[in-house]
Amino acid sequence: MNKESIYGLTMEQLTAWLAQYGHKKFRAAQVWDWLYRKRVTNFSEMSDVNQDCIELLAEHFAIRTMAEHVKQESADGTIKFLFKLQDGNLIETVLMRHKYGLSVCVTTQVGCNIGCSFCASGLLAKSRDLTSGEIVEQIMQVQLHLDEAKQDEKVSHVVVMGIGEPFDNFNNLVDFLNVIKDHKGLAIGPRRITVSTSGLADKIYEFTDMNLQVNLAISLHAPNNELRTRIMKINRAIPIEKLMQAIQYYLDKTKRRVTLEYILLKDVNDRKEHALELVDLIRDMRDLASVNLIPYNPVDEHSQYQRSEPQSVREFYDILKQHGINSSVRLEHGTDIDAACGQLRSKQIRVS
């Protein structure tokens, strides 16, 4: 029988669980330290934890619930991991090297039901949510990879932008965030964590009210309903007006910046009129909103889309800047190793 990942418990949940079996609060602190600071891979390595507690943990939980299935390394230092879960499903996790540190992109679901017409990760429908432990374990597996290299490197940033819609797995997402933020564990600062959503408006309100302090990114990709509905079917249920109201609520309540992600598709959403429409759409929130222009990663199954020409990218960027919209063009990572989210997983499944 498969065991639940120990990484799925927040510090509060671990403390409460051990208390049910008569263990005091300090025991949870010891276990937490072994998991996230010393990063053991077996309960028996917890040398200052009594044997009864170790046996209890080993009976109910596992430290490793996924195995490295494929690993690809890019010339730029990006590493893409394909992990196999206990049920045989495959998920992707990506380690990226930046000037400011090491960032890990995690997956939250097996497959995706959002159905963006340009996206490789949506090629396979969602079969289930990942548990909070499976999401945390992606960070731990990458950190253990870094530990083995003995270069004293640590995961410093996290982006929740892998396969799946994070806000469609909301409770597990929140537990994951609370685990990795904990200052006695991985201690990844909330301002170094970004969660991306395709625009589940009700969850944006809930996320805002929880005041988790982590960054929010919105996959916008179009400046009007007609175009956004054509490339993102979620817009049928949650049109731009409803989404923008939720974003404004977030800005008003948190006073934190929001990133609007915009994948540039040649002759689809990259024209001058689209840039001007985008300016009009976000003009009133430009003090706290920034646009991240993303070069498209071509996918064989979505051959109707091509990457925008460099000149089109520059012109789009210039229009935004000229109208006072803070914007940037995302730097590419791992273009030589199936860089698009979901590509490695879908190709491996086809091979299998």
Q: Which residues contact 26 (CB under 8 A, 6 or more apart)?
A: none
Residue 11 near residue 185 (C-beta atoms within 8 A): yes
Are 173 and 194 a contacting pair, CB within 8 Å? Answer: no
Spell out the residues 6+ positions from residue 123 whose beta carbon is closer than 8 angstroms to its own.
Answer: 299, 301, 342, 346
Beta-carbon count within 10 A of 28 CB: 21
Catalytic residue at 341? yes
User: What does the alpha-carbon distance between residue 312 and residue 310 come to, in Å, rounded to a whole number?
Assistant: 5
- Catalytic residue of the set 53, 116, 119, 341: 341
The values of phi and psi at residue 289, to 5°, are -115, 140
Which residues, at least 6 apart from 58, have a Cβ–Cβ distance to it below 8 Å? 43, 44
Q: Which of 92, 137, 165, 261 is catalytic?
A: 92
Alpha carbons 44 and 35: distance in angstroms, whole number: 12
Active site residues: 92, 341
